[in-house]
Amino acid sequence: MGKVAAGVAALAACAVAGVVVGRRVRSRRKWKRVVGVLRELEEACETPVGRLRQVVDAMAVEMHAGLASEGGSKLKMLLTFVDHLPTGSEIGTYYALDLGGTNFRILRVQLGGRRSSILSQDVEQRPIPQHLMTSTSEDLFDFIASTLKQFVEKEENGSEPSSVRARELGFTFSFPVKQLSIHSGILIKWTKGFAIEDMVGKEVVGLLEAALVRSGLDMRVAVLVNDTVGTLALGHYDDADTVAAVIIGTGTNACYLERADAIIKCQGLLITSGCMAVNMEWGNFWSSHLPRTSYDIDLDLESPNPNDQGFEKMISGMYLGDIVRRVILRMSQESDIFGPVSSRLSIPFILQAPLLAAMHEDDSPELKEVDKILKETLEISEVSLKVRKLVVRICDVVTRRAARLAAAGIVGILKKIGRDGSGGVAGGRSRSDSKMRRTVVAIEGGLYTRYMMFREYLHEALHEILGEDVAQHVILKVTEDGSGIGGALLAAANSSSSVDNSSRYEGIKKSKDEKMAMIPSFFNNRSRDLIFDPFFSFDPFRDFPMSNTAFISTRIDWKETPEAHVFKADLPGLKKEEVKVEIEDDRVLQIRGERSVEKEDKNDTWHRVERSSGKFLRRFKLPENAKIDQVKAGMENGVLTVTVPKEEVKKTDAKKTIEISG
Ligand code: BGC
């Protein structure tokens, strides 16, 4: 009996061992499958530096194509009509409305002019009720206008609004907009989950202003800008070496300062400063070099905007969590390491970027944060530490790819403008013979500012692509609320009241006998929409960056009489020795000079500093008939007059009638 019992016990032990081994084998097989899914993801997301450089090149090439013609590339390269950035001399109170994500912000900014710059700012942030993101333009703008009105009433605290001028608003609208002028534009399409059908193809400022009227608020929109452009404005306001701005938040995009002559598609459009901010809408960039996975393909197909915003869908905060969710869902379907498949895993966008960042950056030994998020958000409980580590690894792969691609995008811009140390797309110069200048890129957006791992990966890639020698000259600088404050600054820089000659313009516009090809000073007011100057092309930006001190705005009138082109420049306080008038080979008239800064004595107290100082430069391409060897210049009472005689147009005396054949 004893023997039998022992035999049974041995058999039972064997059976148990068999079950255990069987389970282990099965679990190992499952784990292997999951690891297979991970490996596949890792491979598909690989971004070695060689591939990143291909993305850089593709970005620069697409930028060229997008600038050459409308529809020339998936990169829209939208004109912004922002051809001068705030200088620091702006004064007054301006409002800004920042609409571009799940929240909208209203700001009131007081500008104190040079030195004192931004005196104060009041901000209010409100979530946009979910239903308004897909309702009608009227519903959305009525809601915004009434919130704006309450804000204004609260801020102005019952004080009488100025009767002299209406309140002015910088409207930051962060979606692809085809601008018609600095203060109007048509919505091309929605991104970031918005879908208000009746607004697509409509002029957005008109819709907002109509709502402002309905709400009884006396306010006019001075500028319509993208958030990248606002960020560029603030970045440049703080640091004159800022040449581009990037947003990596819910959505992603970049803008940069482009030379007027490089914007082929806007030939003839007059750009006073010689450069314009271009809104790239890089979220829509596409290249076969982008490392695309099956998850990206599915995400795109199921998104409200399939085939659009491919770059954005690999990079921005709205999508990264959803890629991770899709990977976990697949793993969960292929094995039971996450327990039974949670229905939460099928909810699009349930795993938002802050949760992704929290899991990725969880440094507790037990990965408690990961455990919590899996439980609370995805309803996946009791997973082993090994599985939690796997989740962290997925976050890492997805985030690293995103950050590295964003870095490649930034270098693409630098390459296009010749700041990547290689001499530009067409340049054949080697790294060593191109001197690198300090280059600042303003940057905003929660993914970059609040997700450290993302930021570190981005910096690492930037250094890898550029090499240390060049990368040390490239500075990514975080701006604080550029999309809002920058909007207000641009409103100030383009305010009708910041220049005193708007009425003068009206007079000139009516006079038809003098063809005013362009009057730079008027570019500060609304009337500057779509003024074309067929003669124009130049680049003052390269050597005279627009900055608070280095570029003072000199007002110049240019008129054409039957005999000559006459330029008059207001240069009060300048001696004639401080001004240079030159004609360059390719018929470019250049007026430049420098007003020196008044010496500061330690004992002086400055109460007000409004007079500008610094360099100025204005250039004009003269027409074929200009007699450039007979140009005269004179200075009287602070006004410089340059007269460029014209070749006489031979008059035919007799009237000739042409016969019509047929
Ligand atoms: C929009 C851009 C915007 C970016 C960042 C993108 O989805 O198309 O206009 O600048 O998001 O907010």
Chain segment 134-192, per-residue pLDDT in tens? 999 999 999 999 999 999 998 887 665 554 567 999 999 999 999 999 999 999 999 99
The DSSP call for residue 532 is B
Tell how far the Cα of 45 is from the centroid of ligand 1, in angstroms.
24
Q: So what's the pLDDT on residue 511?
A: 30
- Assign 126 to helix, strand or coil: strand
Q: What is the pLDDT of residues 64-91, one digit of tens each?
A: 999 999 999 999 999 999 998 998 888 8
Distinct helix (H) and strand (E) counts, the chain: 16, 20
Q: Which atom of ligand 1 is nearest to the CA of 101?
A: 12
Q: SS3 helix, strand, coil % of the chain, rounded to 5? A: 40, 20, 40
Q: Which residues contact 515 (CB under 8 A, 6 or more apart)?
A: 560
pLDDT band at residue 533 under the 50/70/90 scheme? very low
Of the candidates 321, 253, 304, the one whose C-alpha atom is nearest the C-alpha of residue 283 is 253
| Residue nearest (by alpha carbon) to ligand 1 atom 6 | 251
pLDDT in tens, 337-356: 999 999 999 999 999 999 99
| Ligand 1 atom 9: residue of nearest CA | 175
Name which residue sits closest to atom 3 of ligand 1, judged by CA.
Answer: 174
d(CA 503, CA 365): 70
| Gap between the Cα atoms of 450 and 407, Å rounded | 17
Q: In the predicted model, is pLDDT for residue 605 greater than 60?
A: no
Least confident of 139-143, 398-402, 554-558: 554-558
Considering the candidates 74, 76, 189, 227, report the single residue annotated as catalytic: 227
CA gap 396, 370 in Å, rounded: 13
Q: Which of 281, 313, 315, 318 to mutate to test the pocket of ligand 1 (most atoms within 8 A of CB)?
A: 281
What 3-state class would DSSP assign to 29?
helix
Cα 316 to ligand 1 centre (Å): 10
Ligand 1 center to 282 CA (angstroms):
8
Q: Catalytic residue at 30?
A: no
If you average pLDDT over residues 205-227, what whole number do you get? 96
* CA pair distance 345, 350, nearest whole angstrom: 8
HSE value, Cβ hemisphere, 13 Å, CA-based, for 531: 23
Ligand 1 residue neighbourhood (C-beta within 6 Å)? 100, 174-176, 191-192, 226-228, 247, 249, 251-253, 281, 283, 312
Q: What is the CA radius of gyration of the chain?
A: 30
* Residue-by-residue DSSP string for 81-138: ---S---S--EEEEEEEEESSSEEEEEEEEEE-TTT-EEEEEEEEEEPPGGGGGS-HH
Give me ligand 1 centre to Cα 192, in Å. Answer: 8
Please give the average per-residue pLDDT across 551-567, as a whole number: 70
pLDDT of residue 356: 98
Count of Cβ atoms closer than 10 Å to residue 435 Cβ: 7
Atom number, ligand 1, closest to the C-alpha of residue 175: 9
Tokens 């990961």 sit on residue: 370
Neighbours of 626 (CB within 10 A): 21
Atom 11 in ligand 1: residue holding the nearest Cα:
251
Cβ atoms 182, 169 nearer than 8 A? no
Mean pLDDT computed over 422-449: 73
Q: CB atoms < 10 A from the CB of 299, how many? A: 20
606-625 confidence digits (pLDDT tens): 554 445 455 666 767 677 77
| Gap from CA of 605 to ligand 1 centroid (Å) | 46
Cα 41 to the center of its chain, rounded Å: 30
* DSSP structure string for 545-599: ---TTT-----EEEEE-SSEEEEEEE-TT--GGGEEEEEETTTEEEEEEEEPPPP
Q: Which of 74, 75, 79, 174 to mutate to test the pocket of ligand 1 (most atoms within 8 A of CB)?
A: 174
Query: How many angstroms does the Cα of residue 23 sit away from the middle of ligand 1?
Result: 50
- List 645's β-bridge partners, or say none: 564
Residue 295 φ/ψ, nearest 5 degrees: -70, -40
Position 10 confidence tier, pLDDT thresholds 50, 70, 90? low
* Residues in Cβ contact with 58 at an 8 Å cutoff, skipping those fewer than 6 apart: 285, 287, 289, 412
The more confident residue out of 12 and 486 is: 486
CB 495 within 8 Å of CB 489: no
Which residues are paired to 187 by β-bridges? 177
**Which three-class secondary structure state does DSSP give residue 545?**
coil
Nearest CA to ligand 1 atom 1: 175
Ligand 1: which atom is nearest the Cα of residue 251? 11
Counting atoms of ligand 1 from 1, which one is nearest the CA of 192? 7
Long-range contacts for 300-308 (Cβ within 8 Å, ≥24 apart)? Answer: 302/348, 304/190, 304/193, 304/195, 305/189, 305/190, 305/191, 308/189, 308/191, 308/284
> CB within 8 A of 221, min separation 6: which ones?
168, 169, 170, 171, 183, 205, 208, 209
Question: Among the atoms of ligand 1, which is closest to the Cα of residue 227?
Answer: 10
| Chain centre distance of CA 584 | 34
Q: What is the pLDDT of residue 560?
A: 75
Ligand 1 center from residue 568 Cα (angstroms) = 42
Say how many Å lie between the CA of residue 310 and the centre of ligand 1: 13
Q: Give me the long-range contacts of 425-432 (CB less than 8 A, separation at least 24).
A: 425/57, 425/60, 425/61, 425/64, 431/467, 431/469, 431/470
Give, for 558, the enclosing helix (H) or strand (E).
strand 556-560
Active site residue 238: no
Residue of 550, 554, 521, 571 lying closest to 613 (CA atoms): 550
Which CATH code, of 2.60.40.790, 3.90.1300.10, 1.10.10.10, 3.20.20.105, is assigned to 556-596+614-645? Answer: 2.60.40.790
Whole-number Å distance, alpha carbon 281 to ligand 1 midpoint, is 7
Pocket test for ligand 1, best of 199, 204, 247 (most atoms within 8 A of CB): 247
7 pLDDT band (50/70/90 cuts)?
A: low
**What is the residue-wise DSSP string for 239-292?**
-TTEEEEEEESSSEEEEEEEEGGG-GGGTTB--TTSEEEEE--GGG---TTS--
Chain centroid, CA 157 distance in Å: 34
Q: DSSP secondary-structure letter at 562?
A: S
Side-chain-side CA neighbours of residue 502 (13 Å): 11
Question: Which residue is closest in CA terms to ligand 1's atom 2?
Answer: 175
Q: Which of 56-65, 291-300, 543-552 has the least mean pLDDT? A: 543-552
Model confidence over 24-47: pLDDT tens digits? Answer: 677 788 899 999 999 999 999 999
pLDDT confidence of 540, banded at 50, 70, 90?
A: very low
Instruction: Give me the mean pLDDT over the 184-213 stretch.
Output: 96
Q: Ligand 1 centre and the CA of 252: distance in Å?
A: 5
Position 582 scores a pLDDT of 84
Q: Which amino acid is at 342?
A: S
Residue of 76, 227, 319 with the most ligand 1 atoms within 8 Å of its CB, for mutation: 227
Distance of alpha carbon 234 from alpha carbon 117, whole angstroms: 11
pLDDT, tens digit (0-9, with 9 covering 90-100), for 229-255: 999 999 999 999 999 999 999 999 999
Which of 194, 226, 246, 449 has most ligand 1 atoms within 8 Å of its beta carbon, as the pocket-test mutant?
226
Single out the catalytic residue among 74, 76, 189, 192: 192
Count the alpha carbons within 13 Å of 567 in the hemisphere toward its beta carbon. Answer: 26
CA separation for the pair 549, 528 (Å, rounded): 25
How far is the C-alpha of 372 from the C-alpha of 355, rounded, in Å?
A: 10
Which ligand 1 atom sits nearest the alpha carbon of residue 255? 10
Res 43: pLDDT: 98
